[in-house]
Amino acid sequence: MRKYTNVFDLGNLEIALSEASEIKQDRYKFENLGRHKTCLLIFFNNSLRTRLSTQKAARNLGMDVIVLDVNQGAWKLETERGVVMDGDKSEHLLEAIPVMANYCDIIGVRSFARFENREDDYTEKILNQFIQYSGKPVFSMEAATGHPLQAFADLITINEYKRNQRPKVVLTWAPHPRALPQAVPNSFADFMNEANVDFIITHPEGYELDPVFVRGAHVEYDQQKAFEGADFIYAKNWACPGVTRPEDYGKILCKDMNWMVDATHMSWTNNAFFMHCLPVRRNMIVSDDVIEAPTSLVIPEAANREISATVVLKRMLQAL
C-alpha cells in the first residue's frame, strides 16, 4: 500500500477485517517488520487519539516514530505557490516535504479543512502535495475531507458488536457550537457504503454530504424515521458541505437541539449501540446518559484506532 486516504485503498474489506482481528489477537505479531524504519507523523492540527494510537501502532511494528507539530516549534509553512513570502511564513511546503521525507520511510499527515475555499479542501490540496512530492508512502491522519483511520476503526467496532449479519447503521447529524469539517461523516459513509450493512444518513436539509461519499446511501430527513430499527447510531456534527448552495460551505445552518441524541432518540432504535469518534461535546451531540450507557461504544471505537493504524502501517511496510 503506497497511500491510504479512502476505503478503496484497503481493497477487500473482509480481508482487512480479518487482518485487524489477527492483529488484535497479537498486536506484536509483526514487531520485526518495522525494524530500522521510521514513521513521521505530521500534525497541522490538534489530536489526542490519532497522535497516541498511531504512535502505538508504529511501535507495535517495531518502527521508530518522529512526531512533528507544525505549528509548535517548526517554521511557519507557506502552502500556496506564487505567494511573495514577505510575511510570517519562513518556509514553503514544497521544500519542507522533500526535506522531511529524507528522514523517514512512511509519512502520516493531519491537515483539516480550512473552510476558505471548498475546491482547495475537496481536492485535498495539502495531503496530495505530500503524496506527490515526498516519494514516500503517505497515509491520512484526518485530512480536509476524510478520516479513513477512524472509519476503519469504526468498521472494526461494528463488526465486533453486530448482533445480526447485516445490521442497520444510521449516521446522524447533531448540533455543535462551532463549524466542524465533514471528514469523519464523509469517511464513515465511504466505508459503510462498501460494508455489509444497511446504511442510512439523516440530517437537516442543507447538510447534504458530497455525492462522492453518499453514493447509493438512503438519505432520510426525518430523524425519528431514520432511527427506527437501527442497530448502530453514529452521531457527528458537520458544517454545511456546500453541495446544494456552494456559498454556504462551512457555515452553521442549524442549531436545533432536537437533533441531539438522547434517551428518547435511542428508544426509537433496536436497542442500538451508540458511536462517536470523539472528542464529543456532551449534551450538545449526545446526552450524558446515552454516552455513559452500556450500549455506548465510544471507548472500544477509540481503542480500535490502534488496530486500524497497525493494519495500515503493516501493509505500507510490506510494500516498501
Site residues, ligand CP (CB under 6 A) = 47-50, 142, 150, 277-279
Tell me whether residue 20 or residue 226 sits nearer to ligand CP (CB atom): 20
Give min distance, CB of 184 to ligand CP, in A: 7
Alpha carbon distance 163, 37 (integer Å)? 40
Tell me whether residue 49 or residue 203 sits nearer to ligand CP (CB atom): 49
Give min distance, CB of 280 to ligand CP, in A: 9
Scan for cell 476503519, then name that residue: 152
Give min distance, CB of 188 to ligand CP, in A: 11
Tell me whether residue 140 or residue 223 sits nearer to ligand CP (CB atom): 140
Give min distance, CB of 46 to ligand CP, in A: 7
* Burial status of residue 169 (CB atoms within 10 A of its CB: 0-12, 13-18, 19 or more): buried
Judge contact between 224 and 187, C-beta under 8 A: no
Give min distance, CB of 274 to ligand CP, in A: 15
Tell me whether residue 94 or residue 278 sits nearer to ligand CP (CB atom): 278
- Torsion, Cα 22 187 306 11, to 10 degrees, reads 30
Give min distance, CB of 128 to ligand CP, in A: 20
Tell me whether residue 115 or residue 188 sits nearer to ligand CP (CB atom): 188
Quickly list H helices, the chain. 13-25, 49-60, 93-101, 118-122, 125-133, 148-161, 183-192, 211-214, 223-227, 263-267, 288-292, 298-318
Q: Which residue is nearest to ligand CP (CB)?
A: 50
Tell me whether residue 34 or residue 181 sits nearer to ligand CP (CB atom): 181
Alpha carbon distance 225, 208 (integer Å)? 17
Cα-based distances in Å from 78 to 85, 92, 115, 125, 257: 8, 5, 17, 13, 39
Tell me whether residue 11 or residue 279 sits nearer to ligand CP (CB atom): 279
User: Which of the 8 DSSP states describes residue 35?
Assistant: T
3-state secondary structure 54-72: HHHHHHHCCCEEEEEECCC
Give min distance, CB of 166 to ligand CP, in A: 26
